[in-house]
Structure 1
Amino acid sequence: MSAGAANGRVVIVYESMFGSTRRIAEAIAEGMRGGPDVTVLPVKDAPETFPDADAIVVGAPTHVHGLSRPSTRAEAGRWGDDPDRALTLEPDAEGIGMGEWLDSCGTLPGLFAAFDTRADMTELFSGSAAAALDKRLRAAGSRRFADRASFLVDKDSALEAGELERARAWGGTLAQAVGSRAGAR
């Protein structure tokens, strides 16, 4: 068994429109290095069950105060087509979203953590995809093993300075939490 497997197995599933949420997911995985085995998957490639995972970390961009919907993903596609916005749409960004994927899932790992990317303003005004994910995963029977996290983007959907470093640090915190639970098995 690898050292990572002894420290648990984590799957990070993310949805990303313009790359910020993907970059955060990758930074979280970097922060978990040396801890659990980590797999990072875009939502379009995520399976419906995770028989070998101890925990799942899910993340999505905040759209209209919560998770994306087909209409908000189509709007993101229009933003990507607008040359004045200078945005590059992620491959398959207009495909399945986190909400639809969760609707199709079977049994999820017993532990989860949720994150989002959202506008750099108070959550009261921006909303939070992580809050919606937290609620849905708890309703599905998973237990939160770490407080949810929001990573901030500017008005052009670019990550604010320091957010990748915060994501790596949060990943380190997640690794410790999963490792302590895996060690207790």
Structure 2
Amino acid sequence: MRALVVYESMYGNTHAVATDIAAGLRATHAVTLVPVTRATREMVMTADLIVVGGPTHLHGMSTVASRRTAAETARKRGSGLTLDPDADGPGLRSWLEQLRVADALAASFDTRLSGVPVFTGRASRGIARVLIRKGCRLLLPPESFLVSKKNTLLPGEAARACSWGALIGETARAAFAASQRS
């Protein structure tokens, strides 16, 4: 089975989580890991499983304005932030709006500040809603991976992302096997 992991990352945390998810998926799938800026229609159409994630901005998916603000913040002298190499360009929201899929299995994730979701928001829920609307079948509930106020992944999140990737892979494999028996 082929899996496509698509991510948007401004400061590198979502990129790191996506990399760990891809590592977990590799036990059951041939994996392509790609930033949203390079995710093509052909990649989507040839994937059996699509895993999509991005950072939480303003309680949900990023916008053009929130991405611009994040980039400006990182470029300020003394910010201590480094822009992800693929941070420039269109974000996940615009990519998802143009997404065309044919009955793919899917999962969504986000990175967000540690805290109660009602206060921090969760981009993964919005991502999941769009994936379902576009015809994907969500395998697992949307997942969040937590970052600190200093913008670093919390301890244990990398390992949890790898485990979650393995769980997605096993769940997808079981779903695919069940569909073949039907």
TM-score bracket, normalised by the shorter chain, equals over 0.9
Q: Secondary structure at the match of 1:31?
A: helix
Give matches, 1:102-113, under 5 Å.
102-107=96-101, 109-113=103-107
Deviations 1:15-47 (A, max 9, x none): 000000000000001112221111101000001
Give matches, 1:21-100, under 5 Å.
21-49=14-42, 50-100=44-94
Give matches, 1:111-130, under 5 Å.
111-130=105-124
- Aligned 8 A contact 2:9 2:86 in 1: no
Q: Compute the TM-score of the two structures, normalised by the length of structure 1.
A: 0.91
Q: Which residue of 1 aligns with 2:166?
A: 172
Instruction: Give the Å deviation of 1:109.
Output: 4.8
Task: Tell me the number of residue pairs that the alignment of Structure 1 and Structure 2 aligns.
Answer: 178
Give matches, 1:143-162, under 5 Å.
143-162=137-156
Pairwise CA RMSD: 1.3
Q: Which residue of 2 aligns with 1:139?
A: 133
Structure 1, unaligned runs of 5 or more: 1-7
- Aligned 8 A contact 2:6 2:33 in 1: yes
Instruction: Give the Å deviation of 1:119.
Output: 0.5
Q: Compute the TM-score of the two structures, normalised by the length of structure 2.
A: 0.93
Structure 2, unaligned runs of 5 or more: none
- Aligned 8 A contact 2:35 2:86 in 1: no
Q: Secondary structure at the match of 2:101?
A: coil
Identity in percent: 38
Q: Which residue of 2 aligns with 1:182?
A: 176
